[in-house]
Amino acid sequence: KAAKGDEKDEGGNYDIGLQEPEKGVVTRFPPEPSGYLHIGHAKAALLNDYFAHKKYKGTLLLRFDDTNPSKEKQEFQDAIVEDLALMGIKADKTSHTSDYFQELYEFCVTMLKEGTAYADDTDQETMRAERMDGIASKRRDSSPKDNLAHFEEMKKGNEEGIRWCIRAKMSIDNPNKAMRDPVIYRCNPEAHHRTGTTWKIYPTYDFCCPIIDAHEGVTHALRTTEYKDRDAQYQWFIKTLNLRNVYNWDFARMNFVRTLLSKRKLTKLVDAGTVWGWDDPRMPTVRGIRRRGMTIPALQEFILKQGPSKNIVNLDWTTFWATNKKFIDPVAGRYTAVDKTDMVKCVVNGAREAPYAEEKPLHAKNKDVGVKKVYYSQEILLDQEDAQSFAANEEITLMNWGNAIVRQISHSLNPLSSQKVVGIHLELHLQGDVRKTNKKITWLSSNQELVPIELVDFDFIISKDKLDEDDNWEDFITPQTEFRKDAVADENVAKLKEGDIIQFDRKGYFRIDRAFSYGQPAVAFQIPTGKTK
């Protein structure tokens, strides 16, 4: 039965139309250890986990699909395990495709013997053209004896072997091109990160999946809809090799505007130094978005809300970050920062003599966040932009303090910057009504240990919302995507730790990327909130 896949029942569960779940549900997440997990992988992982562990009392397998030694590394495998744990996903069992290289090899030998596979040395381009046009390879009817001999050469990884591959004998001209004799084994003499130099031949994903899924007891192989055409060949292997039945079940691939979701392309960004690394806050990796300030519950909610829908959409990051804001706003402590390069010194008449400080809540609506020390004095610092907005005798509100009246504004004497405010006199007017003023101003008393901090904001790496098929993505790299500002913050910021999520009043949410230490400013990354600027 074909379910659209995005209807929910009363319990908030998706009606997913999983075939015969009463017979048990075993799903698997099969990442290739060729990069760090990105948000697309997170969707696949969370969905498999949802079906296996939340919707049904089933089993989740994690299988590293490590069949291409040229791309895979232990580093990536370790990172994948960590990132899954971070997302709260715990597989019941972990395996590697490479655990089965011997069995897979034997399956291939059987197929060559039985004439359901053959060795081919047609060059790649010709093979592509022949498959396109439905033309049989000249090797299609070679004898099992010859085929086996070529497979043995491949196994040695010598010059002769490298020229050959093995193809399943499915069809020459099936309208579904995925059925036109797909390649099932390739020769690659490079060392494998787990099996070393034992093997010089590697099975393809198409060949491994049905065999290992059946062997490991997978009941439902979830795949993105672009694999839909390949369901038929999957089922062909199941039938031809007499394997246990496995259902294919498709869900939509997740795409985002102005975002690359391909490990190959992300690897290029890392290697080219366009970003600092896989955990760069501009990267759509699990690590990148976390470093930018995404929280795990928000990620889970966002992805499960997409649900198992089969509609492929180009998602916008705004909803993603708006979901996150819901989680961080109630718990982010409130602090104050002022732009350092252009702050305005301001005299406050009527203020008590320094040193004077009061304890204030870090969050007006959530006591549990804790308290901070707010310093008051006759000299405070303001943002230039705020200072420039003041009119003479205007009544304003100093946040966490009270009202004040602007008594005097001095401008720069330099004719080139005559708008620049260089000094202000305020007169406290604490009996004034804070609800009646238009301007709630952030300020810092100079009478405290101001904490130097860099505030960093980022832009998308890709400059075009949706790249077209024939666009070369490397032509659409935004030239500048990192924006740094020097600021100073209140003394309490010195205590924040890496990873803390806070709000600087009127500046937005930030994640501390580097804690303050003497002689080195803190670094905070602006967390998008879903509002378009």
Per-position DSSP letters for 265-281, written without gaps between them: HHHHHHHHTSSSSTT-T
Region from 40-48, 307-315, 406-414, 493-501 binding ligand ATP, contact rule CB under 6 A:
40-48
Region from 119-127, 255-263, 420-428, 512-520 binding ligand ATP, contact rule CB under 6 A:
255-263
Binds ligand ATP (CB under 6 A): choice among 18, 25, 26, 43 = 43
CA distance 346 to 337: 16
What three-state secondary structure class fits 285? strand
Total H helices, total E strands in the chain: 13, 29
457 counts as binding ligand ATP under rule CB under 6 A: no
Question: Binders of ligand ATP among 119-158, rule CB under 6 A?
Answer: none
Q: Where are the alpha helices (DSSP H) in 118-204?
A: 124-133, 144-156, 159-162
Q: Are 91 and 29 in contact (CB under 8 A)?
A: yes
CB under 5 to 8 A by kind: which of Mg ion, ligand ATP, none does 224 bind? ligand ATP
What three-state secondary structure class fits 514? strand
108 counts as binding ligand ATP under rule CB under 6 A: no
Q: How far is the CB of 66 from ligand ATP (least distance, A)?
A: 10
Q: Count of CB atoms within 10 A of residue 526's CB?
A: 20
**16/409 with CB nearer ligand ATP:** 16
247: left (phi over 0), alpha (psi -120 to 50) or beta: beta
What three-state secondary structure class fits 143? coil
Q: How far is the CB of 128 from Mg ion (least distance, A)?
A: 18
Region from 35-43, 111-119, 315-323, 339-347 binding ligand ATP, contact rule CB under 6 A:
35-43
Region from 196-204, 259-267, 360-368, 483-491 binding ligand ATP, contact rule CB under 6 A:
259-267
Question: Binders of ligand ATP among 221-250, rule CB under 6 A?
Answer: 223-224
Encoded amino acid at 423, one letter: G
262 counts as binding ligand ATP under rule CB under 6 A: yes
Q: How far is the CB of 220 from ligand ATP (least distance, A)?
A: 12
In degrees rounded to 5, what are phi and psi of residue 453?
Answer: -150, 140
Helices 39-49 and 296-306 pack at an angle, to 10 degrees, of 80
Helices 231-240 and 205-216 pack at an angle, to 10 degrees, of 60
**136/261 with CB nearer ligand ATP:** 261
Q: How far is the CB of 262 from Mg ion (least distance, A)?
A: 6
Binds ligand ATP (CB under 6 A): choice among 263, 287, 292, 340 = 263
Q: How far is the CB of 280 from ligand ATP (least distance, A)?
A: 16
Per-position DSSP letters for 403-435, written without gaps between them: EEEEEEEEE-SSGGGTT-EEEEEEEE-TTS-GG
261 counts as binding ligand ATP under rule CB under 6 A: yes
332 counts as binding ligand ATP under rule CB under 6 A: no
Binds ligand ATP (CB under 6 A): choice among 253, 326, 439, 440 = 253
Lookup: tokens for 95: 């395996």
- Sign for the CA dihedral angle at 16, 18, 22, 25 comes to negative
What three-state secondary structure class fits 77? helix
463 counts as binding ligand ATP under rule CB under 6 A: no
Q: How far is the CB of 408 from ligand ATP (least distance, A)?
A: 59
Region from 26-34, 82-90, 295-303, 466-474 binding Mg ion, contact rule CB under 5 A:
26-34
DSSP 8-class letter at 465:
S
31 counts as binding ligand ATP under rule CB under 6 A: yes
Q: Are 355 and 390 in contact (CB under 8 A)?
A: no
220 counts as binding ligand ATP under rule CB under 6 A: no
CB under 5 to 8 A by kind: which of ligand ATP, Mg ion, none does 30 bind? ligand ATP
CB under 5 to 8 A by kind: which of ligand ATP, Mg ion, none does 41 bind? ligand ATP
CA atoms within 13 A on the CB side of 7: 8
40 counts as binding ligand ATP under rule CB under 6 A: yes
Q: How far is CA 81 from CA 33, 75, 94, 298, 384, in A?
A: 10, 10, 10, 20, 48
Residue whose beta carbon is closest to Mg ion = 32
Lookup: tokens for 223: 């795949």
Region from 30-38, 126-134, 332-340, 517-525 binding Mg ion, contact rule CB under 5 A:
30-38
CA atoms within 13 A on the CB side of 327: 17
Residue whose beta carbon is closest to ligand ATP = 40
- C-alpha 482 chain-centroid distance: 18
287 counts as binding ligand ATP under rule CB under 6 A: no
193 counts as binding ligand ATP under rule CB under 6 A: no
**Which residues of this chain interact with Mg ion, rule CB under 5 A?**
32
**Which residues of this chain interact with ligand ATP, rule CB under 6 A?**
30-32, 40-41, 43-44, 65, 223-224, 253-254, 261-263
